[in-house]
Amino acid sequence: MSSPRHLLITGAGRGIGAATARRAAREGYRVCVNYVANDAAAGAVVADIRAAGGEAVALRADVSRADAVQDLFERAVAAFGPVTHLVNNAGVPGRIGRVEALDPAVLVRTFEVNVFAAFHCAQAFVRRASTRHGGVGGAIVNVSSMASRTGSPGELVHYAAAKAALEAFNYGLASEVATEGIRVNAVACGLIETDIHAEAGDAARLQRYATRMPMQRAGRPEEVAEAIVWLLSDAASYITGTVLPVAGGR
C-alpha cells in the first residue's frame, strides 16, 4: 500500500488500544485515538505520540452507535484523510457472574460494544476503502478473546458469546472483501494486564489466573500491540480471515 497510512483505533485511550496506538505511530501511521469517556487518558496517548514525533488526534465517540461512528469517520477523514487501517478494539466485559443472574441490560451493552460497534466501524471503513467503492484498500484487525473458546463459565459467558460472534464476523467479512483490497484478521487475547478486569468486578482476577497460564504470567498490552500492528502491515499480505491467539500458550 502507498503512504500515508491512517489508522483508526477504537477504544485507544487505555489498555491494548493505547499500546497499539503508540506502537503504530512508531511505524509511521497517523493515528486516530478513539475513546468514549476518559479525555485525560486519550489526551496522554496523543501527547506521547506527538512528543515522539508522530501524528495523532483524540476523537471521542461511542462506537456502539451507528450515527456516532459516521460522525467519527468524518472527523477522522478531516484530520488525516482517508482511513486506510482500522482496529476494532473497543470492548466491555459486563459484570462477572453466572448466566441466570445476568442483567439483560448488561447483555445488550456487551453485544453493542463488542459486536455491533465492529459492524458499524467496518461498514464505514469498507464503504470508503474497498476498491469496489473506488478506495485504495487497507486492513482491519478485530480484537477478540480466548473466552470465545473457553466460554468463560461462571464468569463472563455473555462476553465470551459476544467475542465468538465477533470472530464469525471476522471470517465472513474477510471472505466478502478478499478481492477488494481489504484484509480482515483478529487477535484472540488471553489474560492481559489492563483495567478491564477491575471493570468486570474482580481486579484480583489477573493475579489469580496468571500462574495457571502455560507461561505462568499475564500478558502486557504492548505484546498484543505487536501482533496487531503486524497483522495490519503488508508483511501479513497473504493472511486474511484468521484469528491469532496472543495468550501465552493457551
Query: What are the angstrom distances between the C-alpha of 124 and each of 43, 66, 105, 117, 200?
Result: 24, 9, 26, 11, 30
Write the single-letter amino acid at 188. Answer: A
Position 62 contacts ligand NAP (CB under 6 A): yes
Q: How many CB atoms lie within 10 A of CB 66?
A: 15
Q: Which of 64, 74, 53, 65 lies closest to 8, judged by CA?
A: 74
Least distance to ligand NAP, CB of residue 38, Å: 3
Stretch that binds ligand NAP, among 61-69, 75-83, 119-127, 226-234 (CB under 6 A): 61-69
Q: Which of 67, 153, 26, 49 lies closest to 102, judged by CA?
A: 153
Least distance to ligand NAP, CB of residue 181, Å: 25
| CA–CA–CA angle 91, 126, 241 (5° rounding) | 65
Applying the rule CB under 6 A, the residues between 152 and 181 that interact with ligand NAP are: none
76 with 83: CB under 8 angstroms?
yes
Least distance to ligand NAP, CB of residue 68, Å: 8
Least distance to ligand NAP, CB of residue 179, Å: 28
Stretch that binds ligand NAP, among 13-21, 23-31, 132-140, 148-156 (CB under 6 A): 13-21
Helix ranges (H only) for the chain are 15-26, 39-51, 66-80, 104-111, 117-129, 147-150, 157-176, 196-199, 205-210, 221-232
Residue number with CB closer to ligand NAP (139 or 191): 191
Position 130 contacts ligand NAP (CB under 6 A): no
Write the single-letter amino acid at 108. Answer: V
Q: Which of 49, 69, 51 lies closest to 61, judged by CA?
A: 69
Position 194 contacts ligand NAP (CB under 6 A): yes
| Binds ligand NAP (CB under 6 A): choice among 5, 6, 14, 85 | 14
Stretch that binds ligand NAP, among 29-37, 95-103, 126-134, 174-182 (CB under 6 A): 29-37
Q: What amino acid positions are annotated as catalytic residues?
A: 159
Residue ranges in contact with ligand NAP by CB under 6 A: 10-11, 13-17, 34-38, 41, 62-64, 89-92, 113, 143, 145, 189, 191-192, 194-196, 199
